[in-house]
Amino acid sequence: MNIEAVVSPRGMLLPRAGTAIARNVKGDEDMPKILVVEDEDALSVMLRYNLEAEGYAVETVANGDEADLRLRETTPDLVLLDWMLPGLSGIEICRRLRGRAETERLPIIMMTARGEETERIRGLATGADDYVVKPFSVPELMARVRAILRRAKPETVTTQLRAGDIELDRETHRVRRGGRELHLGPTEYRLLEFLMKTPGRVYSREQLLDGVWGRDVYVDERTVDVHVGRLRKAINRAKDKDPIRTVRGAGYAFDEKFQLKQAG
Ligand code: CA
């Protein structure tokens, strides 16, 4: 499926027909598999889009009974499980997964709506590894997914991003260029990490605000330009090629040709 992101009124990244998402370089078999069980269409689509951009293989199911069946046929590496579902409830699915030897230790993140606070506690008691309360921040959820997968299946999580002579370690937050350590501010680091994950993909300022700053933060779009300027200053020395592309009228991208230019 070819999709491109647009920002929903709620400020989340949503896909739209158009351009392809850059895939992780690893083959599909190596990608961690995530099952999303969510009956709210818009949320399900948004989760799929963001998880695929992180390099996961994603399957979505919108009904509790269907999820139960699917989980008997195949075991993913992680389940994102909504609480309130048509058919079996999230909590019942969680209880069943914990009751079977094959899925006893399967990582589960529950998604609950506000006002289900006491239910959250029940969710954890039933054996979920973590929970998020809707509406949640996408970068925050992605960080939790990564943290849980790293604990459960360390070999499946990519911690090093590499392009040309730039290396970014997502575990230690260290960035090097040509072996030289770069000192980035926290925002510049997140911006570089965000852009490097999908080389070639152009993000609007609004999408960068959502993906890097988070959707609950209200800052002016000009802020993005300021931080891109700081990022460039921190990573480029006099004769270095600039890996960040400014796309007029659209936004910014990590130049997918950067790797080739460096090699040549
Ligand atoms: Ca629901």
Concatenating the DSSP letter of every residue in 29-52 gives GGSPEEEEE-S-HHHHHHHHHHHH
**pLDDT tens digits, residue range 55-113?**
899 999 999 999 999 999 999 999 999 988 999 999 899 999 999 988 989 999 999 88
Cβ-Cβ contacts under 8 Å for 177 (sequence gap 6 or more): 165, 166, 167, 235, 240
Q: How far is residue 52's CA from residue 23's CA, in Å, rounded to a whole number? A: 8
Q: End-to-end alpha-carbon separation of the chain, Å?
A: 33
**pLDDT tens digits, residue range 28-63?**
567 899 999 999 999 999 999 999 988 899 999 999
Find the 63 Cα to ligand 1 centroid distance in Å: 9
Find the 116 Cα to ligand 1 centroid distance in Å: 12
Which one is the CATH code of 5-156: 3.40.50.300, 3.30.210.10, 3.40.50.2300, 1.10.1240.10? 3.40.50.2300
Strand 33-37 relative to strand 78-82: parallel, antiparallel, unpaired?
parallel
Find the 89 Cα to ligand 1 centroid distance in Å: 9
Q: Within the chain, what is the greatest distance between any pair of CA atoms?
A: 61
What is the arithmetic mean of pLDDT over 225-247?
Answer: 94
Strand 174-177 relative to strand 180-182: parallel, antiparallel, unpaired?
antiparallel
Find the 62 Cα to ligand 1 centroid distance in Å: 9
Backbone angles phi, psi at 75, to 5 degrees: -110, 115
Which of helix, strand or coil describes residue 218? coil
Find the 216 Cα to ligand 1 centroid distance in Å: 22
Q: Where residue 144 falls among pLDDT bands split at 50, 70, 90?
A: very high
Find the 17 Cα to ligand 1 centroid distance in Å: 25
Global confidence as pTM: 0.63
Find the 114 Cα to ligand 1 centroid distance in Å: 12
Instruction: Examine the pLDDT at 128 and tell me if it is beyond 90.
Output: no
Find the 131 Cα to ligand 1 centroid distance in Å: 14
What is the arithmetic mean of pLDDT over 151-159?
Answer: 75
Q: Where residue 2 falls among pLDDT bands split at 50, 70, 90?
A: very low
For the domain spanning 160-263, the CATH number is 1.10.10.10
Q: How far is residue 225's CA from residue 211's CA, in Å, rounded to a whole number? A: 15
Q: Where are the domains of the chain?
A: 5-156, 160-263
Percent of the chain with pLDDT over 90: 50
